[in-house]
Chain A
């Protein structure tokens, strides 16, 4: 038969539960100290450098990486626990999250040794922030339409063009970006893109803020004008970035951050309905919890596959597809149920404020990190349809 989808019911080992306790205790301390407010996902500043350094000091960044680069050589499953606890607590992870999840693993695989020795330990210490430069004004889903050029020059490349929707570019120290080094070939339109490590905050790079419908400011337009990148900042194969970029995306897909972004409204709804809910609220909550539990079990299962050295491309895409659609619908379901919450609920104001923000957040969830349509194309390929 065709579809060999398996989601083994793996359980997190005991040492993960011990770690979970440590993370919870740490987060509780930080909340008590006023570092962040877990009930305010819409806070102004999601970049909190001192928080980032504390997380690094705990050894919770680059957890799976080799020790010689500052990593801990711990398992994917341990990293999973840290990620989900941070996410559920609404911790300010902006500074370190992309580097820890995506950029670090890319450097580990493709960067020259001296760059690894320089940068990876700083990521592990929570000192530096990364951005991902893939999208361009006419190249989003169709990554291979990217035009921003890297032209060979003495000792490196000159970059000209524009990246867009680049999350955190305004605070980032580095960006891992793809640029066009050759035109595509007739046989392979994916050919001709190369991945580069870009040091930000230098002349030749201009970061222009782009506001979002949430009222926040997180992504940017990044304009390169004769910006110089040295030869040793080429990552991997010249003209062969398409293989690298698509495998990089696998890290992005199945983690707990792919279904927990609006989770806070569910907790707040449960608080608002109190211990003895009416039937309608109870049913609504029950269904949402069942769906959440199922996705989390799928996500843990994929983490187990990664840990076992497998490449669960289809499974990870399925988790992202179902996960982002769920986190997108969640605020709307909660809003619907919240219509029945008593006027006197003590957290009514918090719930309403959170719903307002979550409803504004929702439209982006099925777009960031690859649109739902693109993911479904990947799943369809896995099913043997293309």
Chain B
């Protein structure tokens, strides 16, 4: 695991290590670990990392928040930390204060749309909204006739149908039918639904990269423990090569995700350069989740396929996170169109601009 040299990440890792041990969580079928974990994270101000002090948050930098999400991925934590962070970030863009408690953002898919009626009420349907069922408030982006707005909505005003993603986490359908927001304000220039998807996609990329790091670690460890044919399976060349490929996928995911996070943290707007970074990260991390997760399971044999083993906490979540804020095929089409519209001679300058 990468050494954390950052106080936000250190705090989070300590909390995760104490209260989100994957084996403890796995053994606890009732989910009684969730409340203490959330309480500890909240007391440390982590869910509102990206909310400035004057809006009720802890005002961490974008970079620190991204590093925190990477750490959350390494523990595959299943509480709405990333979602509340994104919600707080979105609200802060319109200078809306964040309330206490769990939040989530919507839409969580680039194809869903929320509209603002003439009287300011919100309508629309959003699928696959992570942790909507657990959220007390929604932060959402809505389209009005004269532009884009950001709103805070009381979750109880919307209809939420429960669903689960492949990682067994809540991924719900939220329907807004003329819901009056708590607050609604115009979004700043340049902050549109695409920007929000890119931001959400990078958050997911960092989580996937973190989960892959853990999958690599536990797979290497397992291969050094499991004995077959009278030797450790780590001594078989075929197993070594599989693990080398897993290391490659994990490294690629980490490089793509941290590069995109760095790009957003240092950019003034969601321009083409950020677009390339963020879209590429989501595409590459999703591919890594598929390839890398497959190898991790292969190395673990049948044991990794059991519900008792912690591997699935990482592998299934990494697979599930592919779907949020635009899948890899969605972003590949969009990125491909962008590249094509700029033309062949601009491709290398775009890549080399980073």
Residues on A close to B: CB < 8 A?
A: 1-9, 11, 20, 84-85, 88, 266-268, 270-271, 273-277, 279, 281-287, 289-298, 301, 314-315, 318, 321-322, 373, 375-377, 379-380, 382-386
Contacts and interface: CB of A to CB of B under 8 A. Distances in A.
A290 B332 contact: yes
B111 interface: no
B104 interface: no
B252 A294 contact: yes
B347 A267 contact: yes
A383 B343 CA distance: 42
B240 A287 contact: no
A337 to B, nearest CB: 10
A377 B237 contact: yes
B336 A297 contact: no
Contacts of A375: 244
B44 interface: no
B348 interface: yes
Contacts of B263: 9
A273 B250 contact: no
Contacts of B329: 283
A283 B332 CA distance: 5
B341 A275 contact: yes
Given A293-B276, A383-B247, A3 B336 contact: no
A341 to B, nearest CB: 12
Interface in B158-210: none
Contacts of A318: 244, 247-248, 251
Given A270-B339, A285-B336, 16 more contacts: A6-B2, A9-B259, A85-B352, A275-B343, A276-B340, A277-B336, A282-B336, A286-B279, A286-B334, A290-B331, A291-B284, A321-B244, A376-B241, A383-B244, A385-B224, A385-B240
A7 B254 CA distance: 7
Contacts of A11: 262, 354
B71 to A, nearest CB: 13
A266 B255 contact: no
A144 B275 CA distance: 48
A296 B354 contact: yes
Given A3-B220, A7-B251, A293-B277, A383 B336 contact: no
Contact of B252 (A283, A298, A314, A385): A298
Given A290-B284, A293-B351, A298-B252, A2 B241 contact: no
Given A277-B337, A298-B255, A5 B223 contact: no
Given A3-B213, A4-B1, A377-B237, A293 B250 contact: no
B333 interface: yes
Given A11-B354, A377-B240, A4 B3 contact: yes
Contacts of A266: 347
B258 A9 contact: yes
B340 A297 contact: no
How many B residues touch the partner, as a band?
35 or more
Contact of B217 (A2, A88, A294): A2
Contacts of A2: 216-217, 220-221
Nearest to A287: B332
Contacts of A373: 241
Interface in B232-256: 234-235, 237, 239-241, 243-245, 247-248, 250-252, 254-256
Contacts of B261: 9
B7 interface: no
15 contacts: A7-B251, A9-B258, A11-B262, A267-B347, A270-B340, A275-B340, A277-B337, A285-B336, A285-B339, A290-B335, A291-B284, A294-B255, A294-B281, A297-B354, A379-B244
Contacts of B331: 286, 290
B250 A5 contact: yes
Contacts of B254: 5-7
Given A7-B251, A298-B251, A376-B240, A293 B280 contact: yes
B344 interface: yes
Nearest to B335: A286
B283 interface: yes
B328 interface: yes
B248 A3 contact: no
Given A88-B348, A290-B284, A295 B252 contact: yes
A292 B351 contact: yes
A279 B337 CA distance: 8
A315 B329 CA distance: 28
A385 B225 CA distance: 11
Contacts of B241: 373, 376-377, 380
A53 B83 CA distance: 58
A308 to B, nearest CB: 15
A282 B224 contact: no
Residue of A283, A284, A298 ringed by the most chain B CB atoms within 10 A: A283
Contacts of B217: 1-3
B353 to A, nearest CB: 9
Contacts of B287: 287, 291
A44 B347 CA distance: 27
A5 B336 contact: no
Residue of B3, B216, B329, B336 ringed by the most chain A CB atoms within 10 A: B336
Contact of A284 (B223, B247, B336): B336
